[in-house]
Amino acid sequence: MTLKERMEVIGMVNLINKHKDFAKRVGLEDRTIIKHVIIS
C-alpha cells in the first residue's frame, strides 16, 4: 500500500464516520417526525 492509497483510505474512513454522526442526528429527528406522522 502506497502512502497516497493509505491517505485515501483514511480520508474515506473519516468521511464515513462524519456521515454516521450526521445520520445519527438526522435519523433521530426523522424518527420523531415519522412517529408524529403515524400517530396523526
- Grid coordinates in use for 15? 468521511
Q: Which is more confident, 24 or 13?
A: 13
- Grid coordinates in use for 23? 445520520
Question: What is the arithmetic mean of pLDDT over 17-32?
Answer: 80
Measured distance CA(6)–CA(9) in Å, rounded: 5
Give me the pLDDT at residue 40, please: 64
Residue 9 contacts by C-beta under 8 Å, 6 or more apart in sequence? 1
**What tens digit of pLDDT does each residue of 1-17 get?**
799 999 999 999 999 88
Q: Which pairs with CB-CB distance under 8 Å and at least 24 residues apart come from 6-12?
A: none
Give me the pLDDT at residue 2, please: 94
